[in-house]
Amino acid sequence: MNDLIKKLVEAYGPSGFEEQMRELIRPEIEPYADEISVDALGNLIARKKGDGSGLKVMVAAHMDEIGVMVSHVTKEGFLRFTNIGGVFPHNLMGSRVQFANGVMGVIYCDKLEDRGKIHPLNKHFIDVGASSKEDCPVRVGDAAGFVRPFMAQGSRLTAKSMDDRIGCAVAIEALKRLKATPHDVYFVFSVQEEVGTRGAQTAAQALNPDVGIAVDVTTTGDIPEARPMDVSLGKGPAIKVKDAGMIAHAGLVRLMRQRAEESGIPFQLEVLLGGSTDARSIQIANGGAAAGCISIPCRYVHSQSETLDADDVENGVKLLAEILANPLAL
């Protein structure tokens, strides 16, 4: 599965610019889906037909990643930029970014009088090797994603954009393993999650599912001075109970726990104090849906070195496939 993960996490795809991600994911799912479509916002949707006895289920994993967008080009050819999603200034200096046309850039900042402090976002710039505004190979409005190679050390996997390319990998692998299901399942590889779960909202409004399951990452409490949280790497996928944007459907939480226990799949329970996922948009679309989330524990979220455990990923695939292969009595 590492080959698939590497392909996804190293690819370009900031929020609103997910075309390359769609082209990577589509051939992975085409042999296993009964129907494939792309909606007006750019969500890639793969339908797996059930036997007619189940429910309509939407599984959402977002294709987009955090990034930056050029807001101004100086006369010397340096790029000022704004954020796309949750970009933290303390992760920026020295980072490399890539634009859709392949141009690479290095992020640095204005002179620091006090090296113990960090400049805000608007005091950073991108150097793409231009000597003037006229010979700059990118323009205002162009978006860039961060560049960092995938790394595997034993079971620990590190890369930029594990959030949420790892959710995409889990959904792809679960679709491949799902030989039969009673449900009409729509695997939605959504866009623009990092700027407000916009893709999932439009997909849920159109599909009107009975049940929604997001697959995303969550933070952990197992690093020095972490906010206390009962989620750690290597102890199984986390079944979301609550986050800052939603309270998961209690019946779906019970069912996820039941399926995990019956199948001997290790799991954790997640109460996240900040942030939310595509499950929030599914939960409140139209008349509402029973929504929840399978979260892959991840350290250093929204950095260029997001780190997780391969065993949690594999068990996340098993749990999602087990849920979809059986009745959903909520």
Domain final residue pick, 146, 174, 194: 146
Alpha-carbon distance 158 to 85, whole Å?
20
Is there a domain that residue 151 lies in?
A: no
**The pLDDT of residue 113:** 83
What the block records as the tokens of 264 is 């001997």
Residue 325: φ, ψ to 5°: -85, -10
Q: What are the residue numbers of the active site? A: 193
CB neighbour class for 117 (10 Å; exposed up to 12, middle 13-18, buried from 19): exposed
Work out whether the CA dihedral 139, 145, 147, 149 comes out positive or negative: negative
Over residues 202-254, the pLDDT tens digits come to 999 999 999 999 999 999 999 999 999 999 999 999 999 999 999 999 999 99
**105 SS3 class:** strand
Q: What is the pLDDT of residue 116?
A: 80
How confident is residue 330, by pLDDT bands cut at 50, 70 and 90? confident
Report pTM. 0.96
107 and 220 share one domain:
no
The residues near 251 (Cβ < 8 Å, ≥ 6 apart) are 290, 330
Round to whole Å and give the CA distance between 52 and 259.
21
Number of domains the chain is built from: 2
- Which of 122, 146, 170 finishes a domain? 146
Query: Has residue 155 been placed in a domain?
Result: no
- Shared domain for 319 and 206, answered yes or no, is yes
Enumerate long-range contacts of 255-262, CB under 8 Å, 24 or more apart.
255/323, 255/328, 255/329, 255/330, 256/292, 256/294, 256/319, 256/323, 259/319, 259/322, 259/323, 259/326, 260/236, 260/319, 260/322, 262/322
Residue type, 34: D
Decide which of 121, 146, 171 is a domain's last residue: 146
Q: What is the pLDDT of residue 153?
A: 96
One domain for residues 121 and 231 = no
Does residue 153 form part of some domain? no
CATH of the domain at 138: 2.40.30.40
**242-301 confidence digits (pLDDT tens):** 999 999 999 999 999 999 999 999 999 999 999 999 999 999 999 999 999 999 999 999
Q: What is the pLDDT of residue 114?
A: 81
Residue 314 and residue 282 in one domain: yes
pLDDT tens per residue, range 114-157: 878 889 999 999 999 999 999 999 999 999 999 999 999 999 99
